[in-house]
Amino acid sequence: MNNAKSFSLLDPALVRPAVVSAFGKLDPRVQWRNPVMFVVYVGSILTTVLWLQALAGQGEAPQGFILAIALWLWFTVLFANFAEAMAEGRSKAQASSLRGMKRKTIAKVLNQPRHGSSWHPQEAEELRKGAVVLVEAGDTIPLDGEVIEGVASVDESAITGESAPVIRESGGDFASVTGGTRVLSDWLVVRINVNPGESFLDRMISMVEGAKRQKTPNEIALTILLVALTIVFLVVTVTLLPYSLFSVGAAGSGQPVTVTALIALLVCLIPTTIGALLSAIGVAGMSRMMAANVIATSGRAVEAAGDVDVLLLDKTGTITLGNRQASAFVPASGVTEQALADAAQFASMADETPEGRSITVLAKQKFSLRERELAGQQTTFVPFTAQTRMSGVDVQQPDGSVRQLRKGAGEAIRRHVESLGGSFPADVQKATDDVARKGSTPLVVADGARVLGVVELKDIVKGGIKERFAELRRMGIKTVMITGDNRLTAAAIAAEAGVDDFLAEATPEAKLKMIRDYQAEGRLVAMTGDGTNDAPALAQADVAVAMNTGTQAAKEAGNMVDLDSNPTKLLEIVETGKQLLMTRGSLTTFSIANDVSKYFAIIPAMFVSTYPQLSALNVMQLATPQSAILSAVIFNAIVIVFLIPLALKGVAYRAVGAAALLRRNVLIYGLGGLLVPFIGIKLIDLLLTALHLV
């Protein structure tokens, strides 16, 4: 996966195939898909025919002039093909890197759907939906499925790029496994729920193939506008020939306009710049989403992300750190807070998780406790496992006994102390319940069979998240926090984070109702989810981002999958979608403004012999009519080349409102689009004149 991100903008590995593909796209059946560039394509053919006639002595204009126009029109078509091929090439490179992850896998197919029964080997490609397989430590999961028995640690780095393993177990929201991932410990019994070719990896490959991308509604609307403009200018250009013949006949002097000049005029009048780059912008938008480790099912989903005005954000992991931090020690009756802190710190010495480190930090801050020196002590660290759900340390005492310090979930510690003959105190149970009601996580600490108390792990609002929400607010996007916490806890975190609204004690029905209410107001809603209970709301949302670690139901309900399973990615997705729309709007503004400037080069040049008064419009003081027309055509072609990197990379994203964005576009791309052709065409004219090419 990460290989897909390593390609630079103009990587030779992408440029060379794109050049070849640019010529392959000269097929009329391919060109017809882009009506604007199809007109340029037909114009290229016509000018080539006119040049061949000129070679035979029947030319309407000098051979060199017609040949130059024909060549630059072909270059215009090829540059447009190259832009689209470059965008598609990046997507295909990403798909190729995904294909490289597919390996031949031998599955252990169980003869009975339970652990311990006999199994027989079978290639993964021969498996069918419903088959039950055994996957043990070191084995690769053959296809997507659902865990029906067992619990194990799974390495999903091949899919997500994240090195940290995840726990997969039967039942609940963590039963979904992905083909191509590897089991690190223990075993799983998995029921396959897809056929070969239908796995998540296969779907990812098809999703990132830019060539299969469907046009979005916004892109279709813009295409219709461009086609309408092209038809209008085509009609205008066609009527200029009889008008010119009539004018010359009536005046008795001058030369009628040539067909070559009319074709050049048409190509320069129609919005060729945005027409050439429109498809590349859309494909590149999906490619940028893929570079962010997000698989979008279609360009429609990416574009919808740019139009979103309501974000539903899960609290844990999105607004808060997710890895909760120790905030208080609640000792049991007869235990001092310092004794609890000391035992909790000792039990956390080998715990490198953020929660474990935070316990050590809190003990140091409150009681100046330092990490114990272990030199000379016989200690055995007990790591956290999916089965025990607790961790700690065993310390050999001078009298030969072993001190067992443990911390973990309340039920896990209860089972542990009861197995040693102890009991779970009522006051500790009450403290555990109180901490849980506040929306925090209770972590119980035990010394052998004695329960010492509870460590409260609290959600910490992420640094900078409030500022990001303020940026979204300036863009007109409303943020809504969704949490299962009670209303008081939710209100406190919502106020600290700076969200606009919140939904506490959220149920699937409440989420679904909220989304429908916003949509009834004409608003577009985005949300993230990972559980089966999120599936109805994800299916209803306009932009639905499912976590890769989530259930199959959530992935199928969403129109995007975040391979990193990072809920905050929703903010980046919205920004990427808006960047796509901003890029398309900016280049459309630039293209139309370009056309206005090119009028001043071509119109006077075409009719100055018939109407000398039009020379007043030759504000660029171009050398000759032929030089003016050829300079405009050359500029029209090379400006596409200069804009390809912008189309692929996208314009710089800025969190501004629609009105401010419109002013910025008009000022930079509108005014720039008017001025750049004057400079470019004049420079080309000077070069052509200096080289005596016209």
Distance between CA atoms of residues 625 and 445, nearest Å: 89
Distance between CA atoms of residues 152 and 173, nearest Å: 14
Distance between CA atoms of residues 284 and 276, nearest Å: 14
Distance between CA atoms of residues 400 and 517, nearest Å: 67
Distance between CA atoms of residues 272 and 323, nearest Å: 52
For the residues 337-348, what does the mean pLDDT come to? 89
Could you report the per-residue pLDDT of 660-687, keeping only the tens digit for each?
777 887 888 888 888 999 999 999 989 9
| pLDDT-based confidence at residue 440 (cuts at 50, 70, 90) | confident
Residue 415 neighbours by CB under 8 Å, 6+ apart: none
Distance between CA atoms of residues 669 and 589, nearest Å: 6
The H or E element spanning position 446 is strand 441-447
Give yes or no for a contact between 255 and 608, defined as CB atoms under 8 angstroms apart.
Answer: no
Could you report the per-residue pLDDT of 120-145, keeping only the tens digit for each?
998 888 888 889 999 998 888 888 88
Residues 137, 140, 142, 144, CA torsion sign: positive
SS3 at position 331: strand
Tokens of 177: 């496994």
Q: Which of 511, 565, 507, 563 is nearest to 541 (CA)?
A: 511
Tokens of 581: 């729309």
Could you report the per-residue pLDDT of 185-212, keeping only the tens digit for each?
889 999 998 887 776 666 656 655 544 4
Distance between CA atoms of residues 635 and 602, nearest Å: 12
Distance between CA atoms of residues 599 and 597, nearest Å: 5
Tokens of 228: 């309408």
SS3 content of the chain, % helix, strand, coil (to 5): 55, 15, 30
Q: Return the residue matching tokens 């002595």.
A: 57
- If one counts every other C-beta atom within 10 angstroms of the C-beta of residue 349, the result is 18
549 phi and psi angles, rounded to 5 deg: -80, 0
Q: Return the residue matching tokens 């979005």.
A: 216
The HSE-up count of residue 692 (CA atoms within 13 Å, CB side) is 0
Residues at the annotated binding site for Mg(2+)?
Answer: 530, 534
Tokens of 616: 């007043």
Residue 307 neighbours by CB under 8 Å, 6+ apart: 218, 524, 542, 577, 581
3-class SS letters over 332-352: CCCCCHHHHHHHHHHHCCCCC
Distance between CA atoms of residues 126 and 166, nearest Å: 28
C-alpha 288 chain-centroid distance: 6
- Per-residue pLDDT at 214: 55
Give yes or no for a contact between 175 and 262, defined as CB atoms under 8 angstroms apart.
Answer: no
| pLDDT-based confidence at residue 249 (cuts at 50, 70, 90) | low
Highest mean pLDDT among 70-84, 213-227, 356-370: 70-84
Q: Identify the residue with better confidence: 400 or 442.
A: 442
Residue 177 above 80 pLDDT?
Answer: yes
Residue 330 above 80 pLDDT?
Answer: yes
Distance between CA atoms of residues 283 and 208, nearest Å: 9
SS3 at position 163: coil
Q: Which residues pair with 405 in a beta bridge?
A: 393, 447
Could you report the per-residue pLDDT of 30-64, keeping only the tens digit for each?
899 889 999 999 999 999 999 999 988 887 888 89
SS3 at position 356: helix
For the residues 147-172, what does the mean pLDDT come to? 74
Q: Identify the residue with better confidence: 373 or 123.
A: 123
Q: Poorest-confidence range of 31-35, 354-358, 406-410, 644-648?
A: 354-358
Question: Alpha helices, DSSP H only, in 498-568?
Answer: 508-520, 535-540, 552-557
Distance between CA atoms of residues 405 and 345, nearest Å: 10
The size of the chain, in residues, is: 694
Distance between CA atoms of residues 107 and 378, nearest Å: 43
Q: Which of 648, 606, 653, 542 is nearest to 284 (CA)?
A: 648
The residues assigned a catalytic role are: 314
Q: Poorest-confidence range of 81-90, 155-164, 291-300, 305-314?
A: 155-164
Q: Which amino acid is at 309?
A: D
Give yes or no for a contact between 134 and 108, defined as CB atoms under 8 angstroms apart.
Answer: yes
The HSE-up count of residue 109 (CA atoms within 13 Å, CB side) is 17
- Per-residue pLDDT at 212: 45
Distance between CA atoms of residues 267 and 278, nearest Å: 17
Distance between CA atoms of residues 262 and 237, nearest Å: 6
| pLDDT-based confidence at residue 358 (cuts at 50, 70, 90) | confident
Residue 445 above 80 pLDDT?
Answer: yes
Residue 409 neighbours by CB under 8 Å, 6+ apart: 389, 390, 443, 444
Residues at the annotated binding site for ATP?
Answer: 351, 355, 384-391, 407
**Axis crossing angle, helix 259-269 with helix 625-649, rounded to the nearest 10:** 30
| pLDDT-based confidence at residue 496 (cuts at 50, 70, 90) | confident
Residue 441 to residues 134, 363, 459, Cα–Cα distance (Å): 34, 17, 9
Give yes or no for a contact between 540 and 526, defined as CB atoms under 8 angstroms apart.
Answer: no
Residue 8 above 60 pLDDT?
Answer: no
- Per-residue pLDDT at 611: 67
Give yes or no for a contact between 194 and 144, defined as CB atoms under 8 angstroms apart.
Answer: yes
Give yes or no for a contact between 509 and 537, defined as CB atoms under 8 angstroms apart.
Answer: no
- If one counts every other C-beta atom within 10 angstroms of the C-beta of residue 577, the result is 24
- Per-residue pLDDT at 439: 61
Give yes or no for a contact between 415 and 449, defined as CB atoms under 8 angstroms apart.
Answer: no
Residue 375 above 60 pLDDT?
Answer: no
- If one counts every other C-beta atom within 10 angstroms of the C-beta of residue 365, the result is 11
Could you report the per-residue pLDDT of 284-328, keeping only the tens digit for each?
777 788 778 888 776 677 878 888 889 898 777 668 766 678 889
